[in-house]
Amino acid sequence: MEEQQNSCPSCGDKKKDMDKSKRKKLGLSCMLNTEVGAVLAVIRRPIDPTAQFISPQEDHFDSSIQQSLKSLRGLIFNPHQDWQTIDPCIYLSPFLDVIQSDDIPAAATGVALSAILKILKLEIFDEKTPGAKEAINFVITGITSCRLEKTDPVSEDAVMMKILQVLTGIMRHNASVLLTDQAVCTIVNTCFQVVQQSVTRGDLLQRSARYTMHELIRIIFSRLPDVEVNEGENSESETEDVDENSGYGARCAVDIFQFLCSLLNVVEVVETEVSAWHTADEDVQLFALVLINCAIEVSGDGIGKHPKLLRMIQDDLFHHLIHYGTCSSPLVLSMICSIVLNIYHFLRRFIRLQLEAFFSFVLLRIAAPGASLQLQEVALEAIINFFSQPTFVIEAYANYDCDPICRNVFEEVGKLLCKQAFPGTGPMTTLQVQAFEGLVILIHNISDNIDKEDDSSTSEPYPVEITEYRPFWVDKPKDDLETWMEYIRVRKAQKKKILIAGNHFNRDEKKGLEYLKHCLLVSDPPDPKAFAFFFRYTPGLDKSMIGDYLGDPDEFHLEVLKEFTGTFKFKGMILDSALRTYLETFRLPGESQKIQRILEVFSERFFDQQSSEIFVTKDSVFILCYSLIMLNTDQHNPQVKKKMTEEEFIRNNRAINGGQDLPREYLSELFHSISNHEITLFGQSGSVEMNPSRWIELMNRAKSMQSYVLCDFDRRLGRDMFACVAGPTIAALSAFFEHADEDEMLHECIEGLISVARIAQYGLADTLDVLVASFCKFTTLLNPYASAEETLFAFRNDMKPRMATLAVFSIANNFGGALQGGWRNIVDCLLKLKRLRLLPQSVIEFDVASTSSSDVPEALKSESAVFFPNHDPKFFKRQTSVMVSRFSHFLSLDSMEESISLGMSEFEQNLKIIKQCRIGSIFRNSSNFPNEALLNLGRSLIYAAAGKGQKFSTSIEEEETVGFCWDLIIAISLSNIYRFQVFWPSFHDYLLAVAQFPLFSPIPFAEKAIIGLFKVCLKLLASYQADKMPEELIFKSINLMWKLDKEILDTCCAFIIQSVSKILIEYPANLQTQLGWKSVLHLLSVSGRHPETYDQAVEILIMLMSDAFHISRINYAYCIDCAFGFVALKNSPLEKNLKILDLMPDTVNLLIQWYKTAYSNPGNNYSIGSNTSTSLEDNSKAIGSISFTTSLFVKLGEALRKTSLARREEIRNHAIASMRRSFQLAEDLELSSISCINCFNLVIFAMVDDLHEKMIEYSRRENAEREMRSMEGTLKISMELLTDLYLQFLKQIAENPGFRTFWLGVLRRMDTCMKADLGEYGETKLQEVVPDLLRKMIRNMQEKEILVPKDGDDLWEITYIQIQWIAPSLKEELFPDEL
């Protein structure tokens, strides 16, 4: 039960299917019955419809036709037929008999055709039905044999339209795959016959016929990609065997395509007819082009699988397209260009030379000035369509421009667009706008591919250098991408050098060929093939010079001639065509021997390549060549009155072919060819046409040439290719922007400008500079003759200045790293905006949070509100799409109406525009600039700050401008502090250079520089730097600035003391170089000279010396100098000076420590090895050595000595006291005898001598007794110090060989003081002191047995004599034995 229940649904479905099939069969039967009845009814209809009685008409028609129809009717319902299994011929034959009958009226024929069409549409049979193949081909035979004898034109048109519908129905039927190639060709031929006949009939029939033809081509060729390639198709034979059971395929496609190409020649047939026929012929030609285009569109790259069809496109079709492309109407040319574009899409791998020829002979010629405007527009449109393809630009450059034997297709087209887009004096034309749009498309195409975000490839190097010899004529397949890329870039470099060599060659043959060798374009020893290809393919060479070179008898020249001739492909040419092609490349020399040599080589080449066996020997060719040249002269020389006849020419050339005659037809053809078309024997200039011989040679070359290379964009190639057209492109953009008025055109100009910058950033710095300079002039900011009011008015009321300003600063923002000289223009614009007060409050919009208050004191903030941040080097990502969108926003929103509605003033509107430029981010992002760009930006700013190229109306304006420039210089310096040692040496050189400017003024330049440089200095010293070079560099520049004008130290003292204070208080440990300490302490000393900064400066010094932690061997001397500078100041507070003098002796303890440790520095990690100072004083000796320590001590002593000469007695006496203390502490320095004597000579003796001199000087002044007595008191103290120190170091001094001289020096000073003449002020009180001092010294010397009578030592005697002069009263006391 369950199984029966389960089977019930299945049984029900089967029953339904059976009923459906039965209904379908019945429906088909009814349909056939209806069609049979309709045909019979029309046949039975009376001939004369006006007759009163209808009589049977069967006798009028073939009874067999009616009988076959009746038989079919009887078969239809008895029984119900399964039409899918019945041979279709059974129910098709009766209708086809009606169609082929001569006696059947047109109405019946039309009904029969409708019946067949309905049978086809209802698909009563398909390709699997038995007999389907015979039936479908039988239908075609019947349709094409249609007879229309008894009819009128209207009925005939109706039948023809039915025929067209049936033909289309056949091709759309599933069984159409069973059609033979011949049947398909018959269908197309029949349809075209209807097209031809419809020319004189109604327009409806013509339209229908053409539409049907189009549909047939579409159906036939759409099957081509699925057709299997037969082995026979690869052969040259036209009668290869074809499998009849496989249906129609490539053979019919070839025949049909050949037929369509032949339609293009209709113009030649009617060329001499009246002009009314030209339109019709052009119409047929256009119709053929539409069909050809359809065939290519639907078959696509499937054509590439079928060699014969491909060869037809390569040869016949392209030859026709190029020929008619140069002499056709705009409509035909447009269709031709569309066909070539479609061929490029699907088959470009096979049409390398053909595509080059199409550009050379069609597009470049028609698009150039001279052709009609309509044709130029069509050609430009075609060029734009090509350049809009994603890969055409790069492929054209790689396949043609980088090949030395091809034309520079990309470069020539690019320059043509620039030329056509360049505006004239009149209004802008549509052609100029069209060319401009094409140029912009070209630029965008390159920029979008070269500036991809995910492209990490390099763009270096540029340009490519030729480092080794490579045969430039050898093409290399694209195996490895990187190797191939390098290869074609070198080939492009070779091509450029070849053109240069050609230029040299035209001036001097030897120089040109030597240049080839110099550029490694010719091997060593020279390869004749290299010269041959140079002569053959270098454009613009002097043809006379080529001919003379090739005809030279030298052996090497003969080899070059053979190689040169070997570059020609003469296969398939007749002799005169080959000779024309050969002689077009050079001028045949006038010397007979040279002509003979050249023709001999040509004859041999032509003989080897002749397609037929007409010539028996190469001598036959040689003789006939001479004969043709003579004939050419005879026929075309106006001086020859009696011209040679054909018979004479044939007679003159009898028996020259190995003793036999050449075919008469061949000679006759040559004669007429020469007579009608002269051979240019002398390299006459003029436009070269694509004649049949040149086309044959092109096809021969194509067989051996590398196929078209498919490639994607590469950054290096993109940059190289744009460099070829960069100059004209920028000129065209600038000129178009200047003349354009519409906002949309201006917007496109700016977008093109940005795209050029996107390309130029990859190694084309010169291009980017020119671009910036070109558009800066449109900002109106650099007009030296415009007043501020005029500039502001133009800026507000004209869109161009605003757009140009936004564009220029956008380039600086996004591509500043690639700019070089262009920075000067940008800086000039920026300064003009500053003067116009159009810059926002914060020019440099740095992140304020990144600038901590501890880094820069409040007083260091710039006057221009420029903040100086910490540097965090990050790579900023350019977003050019966002940048371009900002222009759209700018154009759409920044209208005057909107500004007025917002209540904005003119100044506020201008300020709003400038804010969109994001000027501040230029300097913020300078941290990502390459070194070269950063140096150029810095140089522009420094030169501008120095006044180069600037004109100031007032001193205030000058000061503001200079300050602003220095703010920007410091901003970029702080942003790039991490590479300070890389760029600042160049910046310092720029500072040196501006100081040499003829009209340079250090004020206010140096003032602003000092302020800015200290900001950088503080930034550098804020953290410990392992590298001391940055510190050296910045202080070197600081010193340079204040030395330009020492008044700067006075005007900037407040700022200087704050900077120095911060350095010495917060960053003393990071100050590592001698130059740094010397500069800081010198400026500290200078700051003490000013009353308003003295207190702060002296406190810093006292703090430094009190702590003494940061006093090191490299800064000790500078600290002492600084301390002396403060003490020596007039009217300075006494207590401060005394404090300093008290601190100075304490530093001796440091000297003692350094002496004992020798190579370590307590409190500072300085060592001998770390001393890389480049200061003026050379202290690079062993800093920890005894001599160095002694020299530092002497430095201290000399400072105190000079202080002992101060005007105030308290300071003098305190200085001597400090000196005493210093020498007492110096006991631990273990001074040697020489050191002791040096100290005495440089410090003590000098101090005594100076004080004595001062005392004498005062004694000679009037009313100066008080000063003189005060100085006498100081001298007394100094004499006492001399005595005490002498006794302290007596032991070391006595050991010195020069002790005798030293002792005499002591005695001499005692004598000088003893006998000082004070004039009117009386006796000196020193007379009371000196004897006591002498007594003290001599007693001590005697006790130590230093001063005792000795043999060979006259010290005792000399001392005795001196005492007699100095203090005779001591003689008895000290020298009793001498009495």
pLDDT value at position 861?
A: 43
Judge whether 1216 and 1278 are in contact, CB under 8 Å: yes
In this structure, of 329-338, 469-478, 967-976, 1143-1152, the range with the lowest mean pLDDT score is 469-478
| For range 675-688, the mean pLDDT | 69
Helical packing angle, 132-144 and 88-100, nearest 10°: 10
Judge whether 145 and 112 are in contact, CB under 8 Å: no
Judge whether 306 and 261 are in contact, CB under 8 Å: no
| For range 820-825, the mean pLDDT | 92
Is the pLDDT higher at 964 or at 36? 964
Dump pLDDT digits (tens) for 72-89.
Answer: 777 776 656 677 778 888
Q: How confident is the model at residue 1369 (pLDDT cuts 50, 70, 90)?
A: confident
| For range 230-238, the mean pLDDT | 52
Dump pLDDT digits (tens) for 1066-1125.
Answer: 999 999 999 999 999 999 999 988 889 999 999 999 999 998 889 998 999 999 999 999
For 344, the token pair is 């490029």
Token pair 């250079």: residue: 993
Following CA atoms 1164, 1168, 1169, 1170 in sequence, which dihedral angle do they give, to the nearest 10 degrees?
40
**1350 - beta bridge partners?**
1353
For 1132, the token pair is 């300075």
Dump pLDDT digits (tens) for 1121-1173.
Answer: 999 999 998 888 999 999 999 999 999 999 998 888 864 444 443 333 333 33
d(CA 1058, CA 1055): 5
pLDDT value at position 274?
A: 44
pLDDT value at position 953?
A: 73
- Whole-number Cα distances in Å, 1088 to 1097, 1116, 1118: 6, 19, 15
Dump pLDDT digits (tens) for 625-646.
Answer: 989 988 988 888 888 888 888 8
Judge whether 867 and 970 are in contact, CB under 8 Å: no
Q: Which of these, 724, 764, 711, lies nearest to 488 by C-alpha position?
A: 711
pLDDT value at position 990?
A: 94
**1353 - beta bridge partners?**
1350
pLDDT value at position 865?
A: 41
886 in helix, strand or coil?
Answer: helix
Judge whether 886 and 747 are in contact, CB under 8 Å: no
Please determine, for residue 794, whether its predicted confidence score (pLDDT) is greater than 60. Answer: yes
Residue type, position 124, single letter: I
Judge whether 1299 and 1347 are in contact, CB under 8 Å: no
d(CA 422, CA 417): 8
Cα torsion angle, 382, 387, 388, 389, sign: positive
For 316, the token pair is 């016949």
Q: How confident is the model at residue 212 (pLDDT cuts 50, 70, 90)?
A: very high
Q: How confident is the model at residue 115 (pLDDT cuts 50, 70, 90)?
A: confident
Active site members: 591
d(CA 791, CA 778): 11
pLDDT value at position 1181?
A: 41
Q: What is the mean pLDDT of the chain?
A: 83
pLDDT value at position 245?
A: 55
**Residue % of the chain over a pLDDT of 90:** 38
Please determine, for residue 661, whether its predicted confidence score (pLDDT) is greater than 50. Answer: yes
Please determine, for residue 440, whether its predicted confidence score (pLDDT) is greater than 60. Answer: yes
| Residue 1128, number of CB atoms within 10 A of its CB | 18
Q: CB burial class (10 A; 0-12, 13-18, 19+) of residue 321?
A: buried
Dump pLDDT digits (tens) for 341-384.
Answer: 999 999 999 999 999 999 999 999 999 988 889 999 999 999 99
pLDDT value at position 1182?
A: 42
For 1377, the token pair is 């034995």
Dump pLDDT digits (tens) for 1-25.
Answer: 444 445 555 666 666 666 677 777 7
Following CA atoms 577, 582, 584, 587 in sequence, which dihedral angle do they give, to the nearest 10 degrees?
-130
Dump pLDDT digits (tens) for 686-723.
Answer: 567 888 888 888 898 888 888 899 988 888 888 899 99
Judge whether 344 and 351 are in contact, CB under 8 Å: yes
Token pair 């080449």: residue: 605
Dump pLDDT digits (tens) for 515-569.
Answer: 999 999 998 888 999 999 999 999 889 999 999 999 999 999 999 999 999 999 8
